[in-house]
Amino acid sequence: MKILYFAWLRQRTGIGEEDVSPPESVRDVASLVDWLKQRNPAFAEALADTSTLRVAVNQEFASFDTALNGTEEVALFPPMTGG
């Protein structure tokens, strides 16, 4: 599964993109985020406030209860500020 981080999430995690193989218990976005957080303190901190977190699964906006099968491209980012 490919995970992308943008804006201050990329800066705080120190990673723009990574390939991960989460355990089978990770079946939706919420459990993926929980799993990413417990890996190290930088991720735990960056992903602490889920109210400011936006998610896209396979380049479509998604929510925390969006189901995952382990093969998706998941992107985590703050609210967008383009235009």
Contact 32, 39 (CB under 8 A): no
Q: Taking a C-beta distance cutoff of 8 angstroms, is the pair 78, 53 a contact?
A: yes
CB of 54 to other proteins, least distance (A): 9
| Residue showing tokens 């396979």 | 58
Cβ proximity to other proteins: between 41 and 82 the closer is 82
Q: Which residues of 24-45 are buried (b: 16+ CB within 10 A; e: fewer)?
A: eebebbbbbbbebbeeeeebee
Nearer to other proteins, 37 or 54 (CB): 54
Give me the least distance between CB of 14 and other proteins, in Å please: 15
Nearer to other proteins, 23 or 83 (CB): 83
CB of 61 to other proteins, least distance (A): 8
Would you tell me which residues interact with other proteins (CB under 8 A)?
A: 4, 6-8, 10, 56, 59, 61, 75, 77-83
